[in-house]
Amino acid sequence: MKARLPQGYGGGGASNLQQIARQAQKLQERMAQVTQELEEKDYTASSGGDAVRATVTGKMEVKALEIKPEVVDPEDVEMLSDLVIAAVNEALRAAANDKEESMGKISGSLNVPGLL
């Protein structure tokens, strides 16, 4: 027994599948290109009124950390630690948000598990 599809369905199954595969390949290539571009970018953030500045790469690696000498207080290492953590986390958030926005533009906000 053969299944019958409603009129207008199933007429170009193989060609439609090939077209979808080509589109998916182009999407994948574009995403790889954007990922590489994002990984080459730097993101900088500061905390404590610019007392601490952190720079991270798009690969989510800390590239630079600048601390103004006047905030280095041996009596209050905890405050310096908090400023460093805040600056690094903000720079990482900026990198992650940029990646999310860039990939969202490419994928048209597709929500496919494992795609991004």
Q: 74: Cβ–Cβ under 8 A, 6 or more apart, which residues?
A: none
C-beta separation of 53 from 44 below 8 A: yes
HSE (side-chain half, CA atoms, 13 Å) at 64: 9
| Residues 58-101 pLDDT 10s | 999 999 999 999 999 999 999 999 999 999 999 999 999 999 99
Q: 68: Cβ–Cβ under 8 A, 6 or more apart, which residues?
A: 50, 51, 52
**Measured distance CA(34)–CA(43) in Å, rounded:** 16
What pLDDT band is residue 22 in, cutting at 50, 70 and 90?
Answer: confident
C-beta separation of 111 from 81 below 8 A: no
Which pair of tokens denotes residue 73?
Answer: 């207080």
pLDDT number for residue 24: 86
**Rg for the chain (alpha carbons), in Å?**
24
Mean pLDDT of the chain: 85
